[in-house]
Amino acid sequence: MRSDTVKKGSTRAAHRSLFYAMGYTEDEMKRPLIGICNAQNEIIPGHMHLDEIAKAVKYGVLENGGTPIEFPAIGICDGIAMGHDGMKYPLASRELIADSIEAVASGHAFDALVLIPNCDKIVPGMLMAAARLNIPAIVVSGGPMLPGRRNGVDISVSTVFEAAGRFEAGKINKAELSEIEHCACPGCGSCSGLFTANTMNCLTEVLGMGLPGNGTIPAVYQGARISLAKEAGKRIMDLLAKNICPRDIMTAKAFKNAITVDMAIGGSTNTALHLPAIAHEAGLTLTLDYFDTISKKTPYLTKLSPGGTFHMVDVNEAGGIRAIMAELDKAGLIEKSCKTVTGKTVGQNIKGAVILRPEVIHTVKEPISKTGGLAVLTGNLAPACSIVKESAVAPEMLKHTGPAKVYDSEDAAIKAIIGKEIKKGDVIVIRYEGPKGGPGMREMLNPTSVIAGMGLDKDVALLTDGRFSGATRGACVGHISPEAREGGPIALIKTGDIIEIDIPKRKLNVKLSDKELEERRKVWKCPEPKVKSGYLARYASLVSSSAQGAVLKFN
């Protein structure tokens, strides 16, 4: 066992004495040491209940011959960090999470890991650590939040963000805004729509690193969630006995499955950052043109919030991710031979799964659309890439041409939007918010939500080298690369330049000649860094472009 390094031999007597100081028995020391990484905290609704999940995992480990050892992981609530300098940290925290798990698991020679995340950057951070360490590991999340209810209609946190725009536009009063904010998020769990957290929890299941139900069983379905956690504790012992490691599971074919399901469900654009980063840790390369290749042949099967009215609880009732994969398999789009943490193949896991609510999950014969929910755009404004959640764009905005309104930060753009500077037809350009320029690639849910709340989402587009929340809807194109900080064309745009967006043709251009762009480049000067000290400054010096998953590079 790997943990013998810290347990056996006369030279490890002092090590054993430290275990005895914590109450471990000699029998427990003879068993495999299973690290239980629990991201519970009191600042993220999706994490407030994870102690109960961790307790159930420990039962599963103990019942099956292991010694569970719990340790923490940090986490940031994207919703609370949104719209201010705090949003510089969530993406950067993904690397801290992966690094800290590597440090603790390696420093104590754990034999295997059970990873307990639930929200945005914590899920990919843990998967990155699993791939990097490549010791037996399984992920079990805390589950999605139920939607709130107001006037008989399901609502979520994205409703509240948009309500702020409606308030600023005079469409609702302060009392109505207060009522919405009090009932949108009814309790624990990752925010109820198909936002980044739930997308990543679903794709963890598709990758084979989570048990069936990991992505869709609601957090408050306590019996099912605790049962799933106990099973995860049991399964890690079997994975250890058979020495099945994350890189045996997260293969190229498994990532193909994940991208396919991502396109079929219209997941968060943040998957274009996280899946390449996880693959990178597994020794694989995922390019964004591969995402687009898969999108073009994958039917879009379920229209969830923010693009639709259904939420994760509806997907769970409709048969969950198993039903979606089984339906995609009818079109030959699923690699069924992939291993999973269940000990069975993908094909065995999805066998017999059926759609139980056809209004929620469509069939491949009658999809919502014949192509996937995300689109990768390129052109003279985005030579490397940009990405948009096509499934959340109004039909009339799939093609749009309009004048640019350029802002060098999210804060300046929000001020302009609330100040009624934006007119119908405008293309808002927010730059210097990329991985290096932000630094940290802030999400732009505040400006997109205010635009939607004001009723301009079918008239105004927004472009950025930053990124968008999974809760964003509208013609919002992010991840523009190269970013402004690296001298990408977005740095050269001026207010009044005409921008052309053509999502069906996957094009993003500014109506400027190559000569004009080159003349502007000659006089462009890179501005001073926004952050010059601390972790973010170190992050900015090491982070790669969004086209490469914003992973840290080594010189």
Q: Are 288 and 326 in contact (CB under 8 A)?
A: no
Contact 207, 255 (CB under 8 A): yes
Place of tokens 């969630």: 225
Tokens of 86: 């705090």
Over its C-alpha atoms, the chain yields an Rg (Å, rounded) of 23
**Helix/strand/coil for 406:** strand
Q: For residue 502, what are the β-bridge partners?
A: 399, 507
The residue with tokens 């905290």 is: 41
Quickly list H helices, 64-121: 78-81, 90-107
Cα dist from 491 to 151, 163, 407, 449, 538, whole Å = 45, 32, 10, 24, 23
Judge whether 253 and 247 are in contact, CB under 8 Å.
no
Residue carrying the six token digits 């992973």: 551
Q: Which of 473, 442, 436, 445 is nearest to 457 (CA)?
A: 473
Cα–Cα distance measured from residue 316 to residue 321, given in angstroms and rounded to the nearest whole number: 8
421: Cβ–Cβ under 8 A, 6 or more apart, which residues? 405
Known catalytic residue: 469?
A: yes
- Strand segments, DSSP code E, in 66-156 are 67-72, 112-116, 137-139, 148-150, 153-155
Helix (H, G, I), strand (E, B) or coil at 5: helix
Pairing of strands 427-430, 461-464: parallel
Question: How far is Cα 324 from Cα 372, in angstroms, rounded to an integer?
Answer: 13
Parallel, antiparallel or unpaired: strands 148-150 and 476-481: unpaired
CB neighbour class for 489 (10 Å; exposed up to 12, middle 13-18, buried from 19)? buried
- Round to whole Å and give the CA distance between 245 and 234: 15
Residue 443: enclosing H or E segment and its boundaries?
none
Among 449, 469, 545, 546, the one annotated catalytic:
469
- The catalytic residue positions are 469
